[in-house]
Amino acid sequence: MNIYDISRLAGVSIATVSRVLNGSEKVSEATRRKVLAVMDQNGYTPNAFARGLGLNTMRTVGILCADSSDIYLAKVIYLLERELRRCGYASMLCCTGYRLAEKEKYLQLLLSRGVDALILAGSQFIEEKQEDNAYLYEAAKKLPVFLLNGILTGSGAYSVVCDDALAVKELTDRLLSLGSRQPVFLYRSFSYSGKQKLAGFLRSLAEHGIPEQGRSFLCPSGIPETARFLQELQDRGISFDACLASDDELAAGAVKYALHAGRKIPQELQVTGYNNSLLSVCSTPEITTADNRVEFLCSTAVSLLMQVLAGKDVPERTMYSATLICRATTRQPG
Amino acid sequence: MNIYDISRLAGVSIATVSRVLNGSEKVSEATRRKVLAVMDQNGYTPNAFARGLGLNTMRTVGILCADSSDIYLAKVIYLLERELRRCGYASMLCCTGYRLAEKEKYLQLLLSRGVDALILAGSQFIEEKQEDNAYLYEAAKKLPVFLLNGILTGSGAYSVVCDDALAVKELTDRLLSLGSRQPVFLYRSFSYSGKQKLAGFLRSLAEHGIPEQGRSFLCPSGIPETARFLQELQDRGISFDACLASDDELAAGAVKYALHAGRKIPQELQVTGYNNSLLSVCSTPEITTADNRVEFLCSTAVSLLMQVLAGKDVPERTMYSATLICRATTRQPG
DNA sequence: TTGTAGGCGTTATCAG
DNA sequence: CTGATAACGCCTACAA
């Protein structure tokens, strides 16, 4: 069932059918009704590929993320998809994992599917070596590329980032002001935001005159793994009275460690997470964390993207602040 | 840059270019090389829409889910996308929310995008009233429709379900055998799997001669909300010594309730969850739950889908069992 | 207000 | 092995 069939059945030309399809003003009410009726009776759906071919767009944007089952990224994906759909765009999701080769490959895959733009969700997309990011800039030459939680510079590339460094600095300041003398920072990867958070931590240490040596640790993923890791740290004689974790899952692991090791939270050990995810309230005690306002992140990104697609000029870098959420894993001031 | 440009630059016909593009055997090694070289030099990418128009497929499947930020559904989405990509299919994600009208609308949206098949992730897609599911059957006439965690009958519709009823019955049996006399069942919705789980609970009660009156409760979402709900139950004089929750989040809420109410787990209150999600190990104590083997669910669904797309006959209903994971919210036998 | 005809970039069917 | 040519289904000037 195509536009020709409909035109024949309705006794009009294909141009008229097309006009009805596209809500053109230049169709008499009578013919419109007639055409719509025929379409309805035959359950006609316009062919998306043919339309795409003519218009050179299927109103689809590609979303790349390392792992959409991650509790934080899952929220990002959800919100992006919702916003995009609201704007009439469909979402093509592609999870790349953490290996560069895969990222490149799947970015190509999305490009080959003819998406109108690309959104990279998560700072995992910025590599250590500048040349490893070349493929992103290459892509940005062809279509708008938005990076969430990371910085990409160059035309066609846009970034929306939360000031993670500041948030972690504030968390650290807080812990120090609440009496911590031996804070440690736990992170899972050297991603852009991982490095930002670390930087915030170190800045705070510096300002408080605490040596940064041996105070930050790359930690295995998973709650029990993190708990074990901290236990080993303790066994090796490394002492700490506060854990600043780069995400809530690590923080949940720290809480578990404290429970097993019999260390009272927050009296003997303070813990902070990041993201204000479900995990932070699922844990007991509930975890002090930073809310990086993912709704804001996503709606901003999509709204900027829409402007770019409309040919407008938009800032290439947008930064906003997180909000601290104080719960039971940190001491109360005063 | 299109196939004509390439053909001109390489001094061959477009048919040959197309053959090279599609890896046809009937091209001499020399011409193949020449054509590939030209493509490479010019960074040529075949137009996906034109190809789609010719082949009438873009090798894309639509994934519908109520809420991809749900910790369980997020995992499902992730695994589905991974499996589909492995099979050369891209995934178009669409989150519908829980309202019927939206579900219908977004299913249409995916259909209009020319997807090759539809996967409905989550039992939220089966409505109470049979006629409200008509749109699904309508869709199943046009393309393969797979439902995960729910039953859809009729040609073109396929279901892959975990035997949730059995799993909850076994959990209940276990709690009762471990001394519970006043178990309650908590659920969040009347979805297909919600009803299955309830049925399993009631079956166990019946077998143990426990009246089912007032033992199952529709519970608000969210960990603190659930905790509050149980506290209210207690305040109203309804007593219970075990909570069987239809998912881990509700169970986490039950654990929180117990902590606030000062009831010892598992001595005074046993709790079980469902899904074996991160929440079940994030909680303290860690929650006994049922692992409904989401990897198996997704890989089975995709592999069946591939067979259907290849024109093979596959069973319309596939059922498998969950695995019980015993942790610290239930007593140890013996 | 309506219709005709050409173009979008592939794939596929025939001849050669 | 290669090339010409007709689909594929829709959009959109341009004509009427």
- Is the pLDDT confidence value at B102 over 90? yes
Per residue in B202-212, pLDDT tens? Answer: 999 999 999 99
Of B78, B85, B284, Cβ closest to residue A67: B78
Q: Mean pLDDT throughout A80-93?
A: 96
Instruction: Give, as ranges, the nucleotides of chain D with any atom within 7 Å of a protein CB.
Output: 1-5, 7-13
Dihedral angle sign, alpha carbons of residues B214, B217, B223, B229: negative
Nearest-5° Cα angle at B273, B328 to B94: 140
Mean confidence (pLDDT) of chain B = 95
B60 inside 8 A of chain A by CB: yes
B112 inside 8 A of chain A by CB: yes
If DSSP codes are grouped into helix, strand and coil, which group holds residue A289? strand
Is B92–A95 a contact, with Cβ atoms under 8 angstroms apart? no
Residues B321 and B146: their CA atoms lie apart, in Å, by: 19
D7 C1' to B54 CA distance, Å: 8
Contact call for residues B158 and B152 (beta carbons, < 8 A): yes
Q: What is the pLDDT of residue B104?
A: 95
Residues of chain B contacting A68 with CB distance shorter than 8 Å: 68, 74, 77-78, 81
- Is the pLDDT confidence value at B103 over 90? yes
Residue A272: HSE in the Cβ half-sphere, 13 Å Cα cutoff: 29
CA distances from A255 to A49, A106, A233, A288, B261 (A): 52, 37, 15, 11, 21
Residues A91 and A79: their CA atoms lie apart, in Å, by: 11
Backbone angles phi, psi at A285, to 5 degrees: -70, 160
Q: How confident is the model at residue B227 (pLDDT cuts 50, 70, 90)?
A: very high
C1 C1' to A37 CA distance, Å: 19
Residues A212 and A183: their CA atoms lie apart, in Å, by: 10
Q: Mean pLDDT throughout A243-271?
A: 97
- Is the pLDDT confidence value at B196 over 90? yes
Per residue in A112-170, pLDDT tens? Answer: 999 999 999 998 999 888 899 999 999 999 999 999 999 998 889 999 999 999 999 99
Residues A250 and B66: their CA atoms lie apart, in Å, by: 28
C13 C1' to B16 CA distance, Å: 14
B112 touches strand D (CB under 7 A): no
Q: What is the pLDDT of residue B110?
A: 95
Give the H or E element holding residue B303: helix B294-309
Mean confidence (pLDDT) of chain A = 95
Both tokens of residue B240?
């219970």
B163 CB contacts (<8 Å, ≥6 apart)? B196, B319, B320, B321, B322
- Is the pLDDT confidence value at A215 over 90? yes
Per residue in B156-191, pLDDT tens? Answer: 999 999 999 999 999 999 999 999 999 999 999 989
Give the H or E element holding residue A297: helix A294-309
| CA-based nearest distance A224→chain B, Å | 8
Task: Find which nucleotide's C1' atom is closest to B24's CA.
Answer: D1
A64 inside 8 A of chain B by CB: no
Where helices occur in A212-247 by DSSP H, the ranges are 223-235
Q: Which of A64, A168, A79, A73 is nearest to A126 (CA)?
A: A64
Q: Mean pLDDT throughout B214-218?
A: 96
- Cis bond leading into B220, ω under 30°? no
Q: Mean pLDDT throughout B120-147?
A: 93
Q: What is the pLDDT of residue B197?
A: 97
D3 C1' to B12 CA distance, Å: 8
Q: What is the pLDDT of residue A130?
A: 87
Contact call for residues A140 and A147 (beta carbons, < 8 A): no
Q: What is the pLDDT of residue A135?
A: 95
- Is the pLDDT confidence value at B261 over 90? yes
Residue with CA nearest C7 C1'? A54
Q: What is the pLDDT of residue A26?
A: 84
Residues B286 and B298: their CA atoms lie apart, in Å, by: 26
